[in-house]
Structure 1
């Protein structure tokens, strides 16, 4: 089973998949993959860290301080470190495909798709994995991979909103565990 969750920035996609992971773990499932969390200084978002759900390994993949000097890859005010996406994100996905019961990928977005290895790992999740995969998708990004995912009739797709963000995690867990 493949599930995607999309929604506007700040709608709770990451929170939703973290809640799903916690609920599945309580039921005895091994959950792997990666999540991307905001880094804030006060109320201001200054970057994003990527976290391996199985090992807890994490590193900063995008930051305002990376904009000028460290990375040629940019999204808005953030410089993006593709090597961190590869060394933590891609490895987390590959590890989850081997060792976990459920694979989570948060998020398939512009920053992550700078990495060709990440794109390959997502294609593998969709086409080769028999394991359940839950992915969050950037809502407006135009990319051939995202078009293929959105147009795949075998993938269950949810759009997150303020109204459904509390009911979606138990609904997804119910779908995965029936």
Structure 2
């Protein structure tokens, strides 16, 4: 059996990587794909970024990934990673509940600084499920197709990636 596809989306901050992934999610969801995974939205209070949460694509359950006001945990920039292993275990159960595809936003230094989340990401990337992941530009993978989002191509990448994904649906 062929290894399921891996698609990695990278690019500069603010270029549209997350928007691209959410558009892929929306279209696949409309086609009744079972989608699992996670994303890490920022949390702002009074226009100030306070940290990041981690949310399940399937259930919407969430937990803190990193906070500026924590004083323990691994420090990445001004944030302290506070993700609890128990949440990662729950997330893992959801992610591997027979998805058609797994989506991740993002794989970056903050996410990889949590041992339990890093282990989950490794498990996802070595699984028999197709994966589309937004990847921090400092992280490289060589086992899939890499799309670098730019101002020039960000509007056409949606159709290109969807074409690749849906043509592989029969192999899932």
Tell me the TM-score normalized by structure 2.
0.84
Residue of structure 2 in register with 1:157 after alignment: 146
Compute the displacement of 1:77 (Å): 1.2
Equivalence for 2:124? 125
Gaps of 5+ in 1: 141-145
Task: Name the counterpart of 2:170.
Answer: none
Superposition map of 1:11-90 within 5 A: 11-66=15-70, 69=71, 71-83=72-84, 86-89=85-88
Tell me what 1:134 maps to: 132
Which secondary structure state, in structure 2, belongs to the residue aligned with residue 125 of structure 1? helix
Deviation at 1:9, TM superposition (A): 2.1
Aligned to 2:161: 172
- Structure 1 residues 36 and 156: alpha-carbon distance in aligned structure 2, compared to 1, 3 A threshold: same
CA distance, structure 2, for counterparts of residue 103 and residue 139 of structure 1? 20
Query: CA separation in 2, counterparts of 1:64 and 1:81?
Result: 10
State the alpha-carbon separation in 2 of the partners of residues 157 and 81 from structure 1. Answer: 30
RMSD of aligned alpha carbons = 1.9
The 3-state SS of whatever aligns with 1:82 is coil
The 8 Å contact of residues 38 and 57 in structure 2, kept in 1 or not, is answered as yes
Change (3 A) 1:45 1:165: farther
Structure 2 gap segments, 5+ residues each: 168-172
Between Structure 1 and Structure 2, which shows a larger proportion of helix residues? 1
TM-score, structure 1 length as denominator?
0.81
C-alpha deviation, 1:94, in angstroms: 4.6
Distance 1:93 1:174 in 2: 28
